[in-house]
Amino acid sequence: MNDDDAFDEEFDELVDFEGGALEEELRQAAGVLDPLPPALLQVAIDAYALHDLDARVAELTFDSLVDAIPVRGVTDAPRMLTFSAGEVMLDVEVTARGLMGQVLPPQPARIEVLGGPGSTVPLTADDMGRFSADTAPSGPFALRLHTGEDVVVTEWLRA
C-alpha cells in the first residue's frame, strides 16, 4: 500500500509538471457544472438507518440482467432475481405490472418492501410461500422477510 502510494506520488510529480494544473482546473469545472446534488448527499446520510444489525443479508445469487441470455425481440422480459441467506431462498420476478415472489422452503412470512430509509410497504406470503404486489418498485428496493424469529433482508438493488 505504502509502496503504491509512493509510486502514485512519483507519477503525480510528473503530472503536476505536464497536466496537473489542467486536471485541477477540470476538477473545479466539475464542481461547478456537475456537482454531487445536495439532496443525494442527504439521502446517503439518512441511509444510516438501513444499517440493520438484526437481519441476515440475503445475497443476490441470480440476476437475469447479468446471468441470463437475452431473448431476441423480447423487450420487456421480467427481471428474475434470486436471493439466498443460508437455507432460506427467495425468488422474485419484477415486471412493469408488479412484483411476484416465492419463499423457499415454502412457508408463510411477513414481508416488507423497502424503498429507502423510512419507506415500507407490507406484504404477506401465503402458506405456500407465495406473495405478490400490484406495483413494481421504482428505484432502489429491498425485501425484508420475517419467518418465525428469523429476519432476512435482500441486498439492495435497483429494479
Taking CB under 8 A as the rule, does residue 6 contact other proteins? no
Cell numbers standing for residue 45: 446520510
Which window, 83-91, 101-109, 121-129, 150-158, contacts other proteins (CB under 8 A)? 150-158
Single out the residue of 2, 3, 27, 149 in contact with other proteins (rule: CB under 8 A).
27
Q: Which is nearer to other proteins, 108 or 116 (CB)?
A: 116
Taking CB under 8 A as the rule, does residue 48 contact other proteins? yes
H or E segment and range at residue 59: strand 56-63
Which window, 49-57, 80-88, 99-107, 120-128, contacts other proteins (CB under 8 A)? 49-57
Single out the residue of 2, 3, 6, 22 in contact with other proteins (rule: CB under 8 A).
22
Q: Is 79 exposed, middle or buried (0-12, 13-18, 19+ CB in 10 A)?
A: middle
Residue pair 113/145 in contact (Cβ under 8 Å)? The answer is: no
Residues 80-109 that bind other proteins (CB under 8 A): none
Taking CB under 8 A as the rule, does residue 70 contact other proteins? yes
Q: What sign has the CA pseudo-torsion 70, 75, 79, 80?
A: negative
β-strands 150-154, 56-63: how paired?
parallel
Single out the residue of 2, 3, 6, 9 in contact with other proteins (rule: CB under 8 A).
9
Distance, in Å, from the CA atom of 113 to the CA atom of 48, rounded to the nearest integer, reads: 18
Q: Which is nearer to other proteins, 18 or 126 (CB)?
A: 18
